Amino acid sequence: MLRKIKRDLDHYYLHQVGGAFFYAIMLSLALNYFWLPGHVYSSGFTGLAQLIDTLTGGKVNVAWAIAIVNMPLLVLAWLTLSKRFAIFTAMAVLLSAAFVPLFATKTVLTPDPLINAIFGGGINGMAVGTALRCGVGTGGLDIIGMELKHQFRMKVGSVNLAFNALIMIGAGLTYGWQYALYSIIGVVVSAHFIDVFYTHQQQIQEMIVTNKPEEMTDTIQNKMRRGVTIIDSAHGGYTGRDRSILLTVVTQHELPELRHAIKEVDPHAFYSESKVEHTGGRFYEPEP
């Protein structure tokens, strides 16, 4: 039993370490091969680091700026959120600061700022979404968003929008307003790819029709820590038999586990899935 727990923990932490390395490498590629050659700014604190590098004439380069601007927030995450989350987020940030100069290149794949914005944004979104899926924060606005949600139950969309607007203004003042517009395109592409790869935030409602409601409920609640609502005395129009309908909401990331649980309890159960726009009440969210 103890060996199994240790093996699961080792796998979990290896997953997070891999996410931190993947994020750092992909961010460095996006920055060196697309954003810097195309004069395109990233969103969030990476964009702030680029702006600091520009305003200081390179005296504080992007790598140092990434580390410096994130340090106060990493301390805040350590004190108020989760020490594990703070450690792995710090790993992702520091690896990024180390890999940016390591992947530095004079090679220009294309001078077209639009292509640089699209591909840089896509790579960054994939990196951020994958890191978050592995339970690793990327610093900056991730920590601010979690703090506002944790402490004040606030939505962070307006905060992100205002912060990124300042970065885009900086891009416009530095390189010209057309580059600010290209940067906005990159931000939109990045946000789309984050949604594609970060499936924890996407909620799915599952409707299950079964003749084993109690067993199904126990399995879902014990294995997944998800609440289940049971609707009894449903009547099958084709079979003429009584069934129970179970309703539960899980994240996109949990769907494979839920499907496996359904088939394990009742291989003949009918189930359907639909996306959820919003949930209220107590929807369990694991600590970061």
Query: Could you write out the three-class secondary structure of 176-196?
Result: CHHHHHHHHHHHHHHHHHHHH
Mean pLDDT (the chain, rounded): 79
Residue in 34, 201, 19, 193 with CA at minimum distance from that of residue 110: 34
* Per-residue model confidence as pLDDT tens digits over 21-58: 999 999 999 989 998 888 888 877 888 888 888 888 87
Give the Å distances, CA to CA, from 30 to 24, 54, 60, 127, 156. Answer: 10, 17, 20, 10, 25
- Map out the domains of the chain with their CATH numbers: 2-200 (no CATH), 203-276 (3.30.70.120)
Report percent pLDDT > 70 for the chain.
Answer: 83
> Is the model's pLDDT at 14 over the cut of 80?
no
> Whole-angstrom Cα distance, residue 176 to residue 236?
65
Whether 1 shows a pLDDT value over 50: the answer reads no
d(CA 158, CA 161): 5
The first and second tokens of residue 151, run together, are: 């402490």
Cβ neighbourhood burial of 188 (10 Å; 0-12, 13-18, 19+): middle
Within its chain, how far is the Cα of 21 from the centroid?
15
Q: 123-147 pLDDT, tens per residue? A: 988 888 888 777 777 777 777 766 6
What gap in Å lies between CA 213 and CA 59, rounded to an integer? Answer: 65
Give this prediction's pTM: 0.69
